[in-house]
Amino acid sequence: MENSTTIRVRYKDTDQMGVVYNGNYFTWFEIGRVEFLRSLGIRYLDLEKLGVYTAVAEAYCKYIKPARYDDEVVIKTRIRR
């Protein structure tokens, strides 16, 4: 099960060299999680109203290629065992 969300790098997401600041990738991971749930017909807000909260137990990012201002970035989110 996988979902893809495309975002465009905003100027505010970049550092002085025009490269996305490394901490912003984790914000994008959150966007991916929320959009993944939405693709299943589940709004995170509705889960919270039911008293269901999710916690990120571990997050990891391997930086392979820099993203730059105005690039399109595809966030792929999936569940695996």
Annotation says 15 is catalytic: yes
pLDDT, tens digit, 9 for 90 and up, residues 66-80: 999 999 999 999 988
pTM: 0.85
Q: Which of 58, 77, 73, 75 is nearest to 13 (CA)?
A: 73
Which residue(s) pair with 14 in the sheet?
Answer: 20
Query: In the predicted model, what is the mean pLDDT of the chain?
Result: 94
The rounded distance, in Å, linking the Cα atoms of 3 and 35 is 8
Give me the residue spans of the domains in the chain: 2-78
Q: Which of 15, 46, 70, 71 is catalytic?
A: 15
Predicted confidence (pLDDT) at residue 51 exceeds the cutoff of 90: yes
Decide if 34 contacts 44 (C-beta within 8 A). Answer: yes
SS3 33: helix
Q: 2-78 domain in CATH 3.10.129.10?
A: yes
